[in-house]
Structure 1
């Protein structure tokens, strides 16, 4: 009787496992991945916004990806923390599909995405082949073995690699001091640049006033101008108006700009984004359809050094992997390791550039219209998304004006 129950139990487990694996398709994975990445994005962005006074750029997707790959070497509480905060699936098949989906987004040729994600480990630590092979298989991350005692040489090697990957836009992501008394560092350097599907004419760009959230003039910006058909809607849950500015020829990527209603704090808008999903926004776009809008947004460039990600991620629940006494990365190395630091440097440039050069010279003058207006001359948030997968790549906010 006992043997029968045991066989029955094993058969049930095997059946359930095979059923789950049978559901592990790219289609189901592309649906399952949306909410975990979006929630992680908003939770971390809310904390970054507080630290950076609502003026920053970050790729939380890249951070999510790098930490999820590190989970391949984690065990015990460290793995549990990562799975809980990132909401990873307990079956590796789904997570491998997640990485394939992300890689396909980052490999798009319609925009420029320079990305360098690295797990930097002191060469004194011996990595397990299974972990190295798994990381290499994903194609999303590099493992760099460095001599942490040669701090200047290690910093130079990492910075040179990042500079090359990001086409010279990002450099000096680490300093020699970052290697002092450490053994494992996560580095994430990113660069994004895309051409607009609908061009802003440079001749229409004018210097204009920029205001704070209570209407006080706080500086000047170069305000770009275009009048065309765009998706624009109001999201009552976040008290903001949302505009979609598509990139490239196939509109695979878009910038969503969230302009707070008058009297609404930008920090409140970013916090309340957790009440919705990107699907909420795109459904409203589809229901309402594009309409002619006069759009004015600043020309700007933001580069953010996020050197306190360790504290922000710990606050979100990723405590154990940073704890030298509790971290467990048994599948990474037999020697005790913990994440000493997590550094990201990200850059975004928003200019008038468009995909059709001829369109630049066609609209040489501004004109007054009765069309709907979207004028971002006060603090706003933005998310760069892949509109097909509805996954956020970058999130940021603009509140500190400058004439760029």
Structure 2
């Protein structure tokens, strides 16, 4: 029995790894379009958005199902979709990730009991509210999110409920601590050069330590991995001076994330300079998803016969809170000499990756000091 259970676990693990590639491709594409939409500091959770939309795909029909299958890289068979979802979710989630998903829908919408049970089973709680009472609807929705454990505010605002019938929400808060913590004693004001050649002041943290590091000419970037105390790592992609983020995005078409991560085989002594920052983005994902070929936000194009007649998603609201800061007052430097210098004083990409499956839990762009959107 133990051998059989081990084989089942191994198969599930391999399937989770296979699926993580699809989630990662989806996530990098979504980050690109989300950043193009905001033109600001941006952070999303590919895993969070993907898992919320998998639940939606189970109720989709006709062209909407085809679009979701294509964008999410899903198999056609619902049983395989369900198994894939559970395998990946089991592997990726950990108590330091606070994830909550809701589907708020108006009193005028009557979703099928079967889909309501499916949605609730997969953790996307369906909640019916009176959207005509927009102030009270926003108050109740935000209270439900807070009470569910994510402890964030102002995810939804009253105007979100105007002229809408269904709002998907996915909220992620990541509370990881870097294994090699930055010391506040080493933080100093420094210059940060944005993508418009503007110069801004930023609190720049500094430490010297041994990290997995590579200098990848294929994407004209330095790549650095800093492990968290749990099973996650922070991967930083810093374009070379004179290389823009758009240049790096285009090079992602020529090299996979696996190639980038597989380049991190050599541990070097690196002087790391990284801005202290907290980013809280509250994004409407309609436009980025539209650009990815998911046209489900207008009734004439949406097809969700398994949920309700004339059902369509009015808005997909995605909030992520992510912070990198000092967690020590002691000087953690162990060396004065270093093999490489990683100075993040210009726009860079960052990824939080679950190591066993190499799934992107969070990814984002830091483009300038500041940036709290819609809060």
TM-score of the two chains, using structure 1 as the length reference: 0.83
**1:365-380 → structure 2 map (5 Å cutoff):** 368-380=336-348
- Corresponding pairs, count: 364
Q: Is contact 2:209-2:335 (8 Å) kept?
A: no
Work out the CA distance in 1 between the residues paired with 2:148 and 2:206: 32
The answer to whether structure 1 residue 205 and structure 2 residue 187 are counterparts is: yes
- Runs of 5+ consecutive residues of structure 2 not aligned to the other structure: 1-7
Give the Å deviation of 1:274: 3.9
Report the counterpart of residue 322 of structure 1 in structure 2: 297
Distance 1:217 1:313, change over 3 A: closer
Q: Is contact 2:186-2:331 (8 Å) kept?
A: no
Work out the CA distance in 2 between the residues paired with 1:277 and 1:49: 20
Which one of 289, 293, 304 corresponds to residue 281 of structure 2? Answer: 304
Q: Is contact 1:210-1:219 (8 Å) kept?
A: yes
- Runs of 5+ consecutive residues of structure 1 not aligned to the other structure: 1-21
Work out the CA distance in 1 between the residues paired with 2:366 and 2:92: 24
TM-score of the two chains, using structure 2 as the length reference: 0.90
**1:5-404 → structure 2 map (5 Å cutoff):** 25-105=11-91, 107-109=93-95, 112-138=96-122, 140-165=123-148, 167-168=150-151, 170-213=152-195, 216=197, 218-248=199-229, 250=230, 252-286=231-265, 289-307=266-284, 309-319=285-295, 321-333=296-308, 335-353=309-327, 360-363=329-332, 368-401=336-369
Give the Å deviation of 1:53: 2.2
Give the Å deviation of 1:145: 1.2
Please tell me the root mean square deviation across aligned C-alpha atoms, in Å.
2.4
Distance 1:165 1:400, change over 3 A: farther
Give the Å deviation of 1:149: 2.2
Deviations 1:10-64 (A, max 9, x none): xxxxxxxxxxxx9x94144223312321121111111122222252111122111
Deviations 1:75-127 (A, max 9, x none): 11111111111111112232222221343255313xx2222211111233222
Distance 1:220 1:389, change over 3 A: same
Q: Is contact 1:300-1:350 (8 Å) kept?
A: yes
Larger Rg: 1
Give the Å deviation of 1:68: 1.3
Q: Is contact 1:192-1:348 (8 Å) kept?
A: yes
Q: Is contact 1:49-1:267 (8 Å) kept?
A: no
Give the Å deviation of 1:263: 1.0
Work out the CA distance in 2 between the residues paired with 1:256 and 1:158: 34
Work out the CA distance in 1 between the residues paired with 2:92 and 2:136: 30
Work out the CA distance in 2 between the residues paired with 1:56 and 1:313: 15
